[in-house]
Structure 1
């Protein structure tokens, strides 16, 4: 039997979803959105943007309405393929390059093709993707192409030692490439808390409020960009006193959707707090951390949460993100972008997704 406090905690995800769904209609009726969706003919989310060959390429999820009821495992996010998009200029037309990878062409895949990312090295483009294997465990795969828009051919197996969701790949100025990944609740990160997968583990988080929060993971990639070069490490976020953020700190702790960018020699680890819907940033002196929490840089969007990327393009910085302006439903999203500003002291100016 659960005591009343445990029951309350287990109800939190459901209550959050109800609250968010209720807030959607309020936001639609009372607020104006800051910017327009980039793509309106299909639903897109989780945009990973990169500059290749002087153009912006966007690698998002492709949301579909699969008719699956919402639940905390995210089964209603039943995506099956990826479209890749490109832009020559900010504000210019967006080109849809069609399906670049389909779940049926991934030999080891089971279901749910979630948020991807991409990278380039030595004449090859790499598409990194999380998908549940045939045992319903999220792993991260890689596919390759000689063109940034694909099509991409998947490797026959997932990256050894990979797990959970939301790969974000960062190549430093020294040429080393790192993958950041992980997401709790439906992303299964909490099931790997002991280092081994526990299918009967918590469905949400560890529910250890006074212990250090679950960490995003990071691994150095081998030069072949298809394997980890060593052990997977924790991305530790600390407060100003150098103490790790705690599990109960839902306004600041990592949940999912990480990204890395480098600005004036500092490493900016950015991420979503998930159930509290903030985008936050923490800054460190090397890509492995630790990272000191600095604050919120985007207020909650309309929808369950957001998943972003940050790039520099023609002397300015931009953030790509998503909300649910077109559908009003948490699982049918649309991607957007807006300029992002760093202050002179290195802090990031706060963005409100509504006018």
Structure 2
């Protein structure tokens, strides 16, 4: 069997795997989709095919059926404990844990299986929303070096917003299940002290030097364009709806970009111009506060518009926590992170310090159970 690619970039965008695998097939709006599963598993293939068909059909409908492939392949490697994914033009490479695959006889959707479906949807969404619509400077990539963009809050953040939202819209998740997931995203962002130091725009641009080269101080100075980008997408979505009396939403922004910017891509200010045109106004103050700046997102006000109470539940007993992350895999409990503004930092604790005793009691894996109140952020 022979395969031909048009150029080197096309070659590296088509992953190849030669191994025994389990194959499932389904159609979504008449388009052939396949998943090849390798690794030991006992997945419910019929259920997986059914759920994937639902979410892929929803995705194709979102872009009005004008998707950029004639067939699609999910390459899935099942491991004991792993989770990752990479998008390609008409395929995606996925790695998941065995517990995240659906099992025959389990009708309810578990958090683990939800996580796998989110991964599938996230990478599938990219076929349109990064592999086709992309930053303008990504149309001519320099493969010899890193390629920078200020727009990862758009491509990664918007995708992270829509992957979970799509599971709600297809009724695979109930509203309660969806809000539980969204609450977890909010918690991760709010626990990040870096959200007060780094803007989403900076997070996008600095990804090569900071996000992918994190040191022990990273939790204090960076924020994720995935999670906070998803929250900004939600706030922007509702803001657009408010400005237009629910006649326009973030859906319209993505669809307009899809219909008009495939050839040349998005400049750094393109989404801003599209939003302003659709709302017939100027959202400069909004973006200055929440995209270029580090002002707290108005989540409670935004949720109130859709009839949801957003309450930040702070347990006063947990506020005074240790302020550190520790690693207990070695002989001693070793500090891996010291969070800024905490008692630990003020006490002079440093990354690399070894905690030998607490209250004259030797610290060990066995004693940490009794001493866990000192390590409420321990990992």
TM-score for both structures, normalised by structure 2: 0.25
Structure having the higher helix fraction is 2
Structure having the higher strand fraction is 1
